[in-house]
Amino acid sequence: MTDAHPPAGAIDRSAHEIMVVNDEPASRYATSRLLRSVGFRVREAATGAQALALADQGLSAIVLDVHLPDMDGIEVCRRLRTQYGLARMPVLHLSAAFVTDEDKVKGLDAGADAYLTHPVEPAVIVATVQALVRTRIAENAMRQSEAKFRAIYANAPSGICLIDGDGRFVEVNPAMAQLLGRDPGSLLGQRVSRFAPPDWAGRIDAWLGQPSQALSQGEFPLLDAAGAPVHIDWRLAPLSAEGVRLAMAVDISERLRMERARAHLIEQEQAARGEAERISRMKDELIAVLSHELRSPLNAVMSWAHVLQRRADPELLEKGLEAIKRNCRTQARLLSDILDASRMNAGKLQLELQLVDPQELLLSALEALQPSLQDNDNEVVTELSGPYLPVLVDPARFQQIVWNLLGNATKFSPRGAPIHIGLQQTEHGLRLSIADEGRGIEREFLPFLFDRFSQADARANRSHGGLGLGLSIVKQLVQQHGGSVSAFSEGPGKGSVFHVDLPPAPSAADAGPSASPPEDSTLGDLADAGLVDDTLRGRRVLLVDDDVEACHALALILADRGVLVSTAHSHDEALQALPGCAPDVLVSDLGMPGKTGFDLMRHIRQNEQRDDHLPAVALTAFTRPKDVDEAMAAGFDAHCPKPLRPAELMHVMARLLQRSAPGRA
């Protein structure tokens, strides 16, 4: 036998030990030397008994001579397989004496894995041993892999099963049986569809019978032992060469229950929110705030009526009183209609349509708004190119549209900035345009501009007056006239443009008669209540109101009665004026921007001396009982609603002064 040094194979030979069993020292030495030379570690034995004693699991293979002195190699191989727990140990018979085919068959039948006879090339011995070692390595890896799979299969929390081509359970793991609450044996050999609700059986058979070679997924229920449905998410592998599919099953019953519960909760929440929003729209808070915003202007109108009655020349007096009467009638009608906001939202607001000259109606509206425009030093630039065709509108509502748009332009324009208003006759009817150079409108806000409460701030200390309802009311009124309203702005600081488009009027025969502005009921006696009581003459009053026009008018009325009046137009101005004017009575509006009349009153009460009580009257258009209670709780002694009757205010002031200590230093 000659030495051979074949290239090392894929295995690490140094990690493997081979036992060489041969009773002839020279032959044993030669084989051992050969194996060591190619990297194997070698263990030697001279007899069968010695081989059995040295054999253990640490060996990777055994090269066993057949002719041994105590027992032949075939018997040694048999005992290794049956008595020594080495059934999978690779054995190579190497013999120079037993070389016939019959000997080879006998040896292989006894359990040998290979049989070589001398003379044999060394390279063949090395290659055969290496092949046996590789086989052992592969078998060990397969056994380990199978053991891991079995452990996973048995302990997996999800159901795992094998299903044959007929849709029958071939094997199920414990989790699968537990998922269905059944004994594993009751499932094996049964169709999966046998355990499904009747209306699912056909669909399950069709799904399991599909020839797809890709992983498929499905959700269908099976019935547990009690007949209750178990909703299962299935993952089905393609059909294997052995004709079975691997399937994984996860119980999703709880997930589906939670999804249904969540969907039900969302539905309930949406229904509850919708109901809450509906109720919120109907709350009387809206009516109270509407009352405040629409009645406050009447306070200035009524106060100026008293001024004109005493100081104006006859011509101015007649013109002023007529204008005041006309605007008071319109404001009263608007107040009555807007307070019934639910009618407008439900589309039940009735319009009193008349054929009118739009230019005359527009100029009338502008005349009514002149005081507020002058207060902000805004110049209204009219762009009129009449005559215009008559339009079919409700005159009061048309004026309301103009007032709301023009008031919006004034509110958001800087002092002195011009406001352009014009009428255009178009082929589609009449277009009213109002453009300002004010703060502009952010692009993101434009889609919500005409939504209710779009100012998004209904608090008493909001930065701008108004409800955020003005443009929403414009939109509804225009739409009820069959028209449309739109707005455009290039962005913040670039002003805005509003367009109101009204359809052409029908023929005169269909439209009915044109009319002058409608008359309505008297708003009440605007004259004062008579001579001023001596109680007020010479007394000092601090009058606080952010409405400068109303404040000035009321100051003139009180001064005409001999009252010494000081004025302030904010919380801070009032606190600065208090020490200097040392008032006998404080008269304050409540709903001022920034800090309110409530804040002013609380500050005064917290800082005045125990016996130095300043009589105080609250002025506000908030007239509900709880509003009066809040004013009293803040420290006011009396409450006068707007629109204000000066005689009523003076009566309240006199009563408070008579109750207090006479004279204040």
For 460-489, how does the pLDDT look when each residue is reduced to its tens digit (9 = 90+)?
444 554 556 678 888 888 998 999 999 999
Domain 156-251 bears CATH identifier 3.30.450.20: yes
Question: Helix %, strand %, coil % for the chain, to 5?
Answer: 45, 20, 35
AA letter at 307: V
**Does residue 249 register a pLDDT over 60?**
yes
SS3 114: strand
Total residues belonging to the chain: 665
Q: Residue 524's pLDDT is what?
A: 33
Tokens coding 510 = 């269909």
Domains 13-151 and 289-511 share a fold: no
Token pair 């084989």 is found at 31
CATH class, domain 289-511, is: alpha beta
With b for 16 or more beta-carbon neighbours within 10 A and e for fewer, the 414-428 pattern comes to eeebebbbebebeee
**pLDDT tens per residue across span 394-417:** 988 898 899 889 888 888 888 888
pLDDT tier for residue 588 given thresholds of 50, 70 and 90: very high
DSSP labels for 330-344?
A: HHHHHHHHHH-HHHH
The mean pLDDT value of the chain amounts to 81
According to CATH, the superfamily of the domain at 13-151 is Response regulator (3.40.50.2300)
- What is residue 192's DSSP assignment? G
According to CATH, the superfamily of the domain at 540-659 is Response regulator (3.40.50.2300)
Residue ranges covered by each domain of the chain: 13-151, 156-251, 256-282, 289-511, 540-659
**pLDDT tens per residue across span 590-644:** 988 889 999 999 999 999 887 789 999 999 877 666 778 899 999 999 999 877 7
**pLDDT tens per residue across span 525-543:** 333 344 446 889 999 999 9
**pLDDT tens per residue across span 129-184:** 999 999 888 888 888 887 787 777 777 778 888 889 888 999 888 888 888 889 88
**Does residue 523 register a pLDDT over 60?**
no
Rounded Cα distance between 570 and 544, Å, is 7
Pairing of strands 169-172, 159-164: antiparallel
pLDDT tier for residue 375 given thresholds of 50, 70 and 90: low
- What is residue 516's DSSP assignment? P
Query: Residue range 177-206: average pLDDT?
Result: 90
The pTM for the full model equals 0.37
Query: Starting from the edge strand earliest in sequence, which strands make up the sheet with 638-641, in order?
Result: 564-568, 540-544, 585-589, 616-620, 638-641
Torsion angle, alpha carbons of 101, 61, 139, 149, to 10:
150
> CA distances (Å), 571 to each of 287, 330, 494, 584, 615, in order?
26, 32, 32, 18, 17
**pLDDT tens per residue across span 411-424:** 888 888 899 999 99
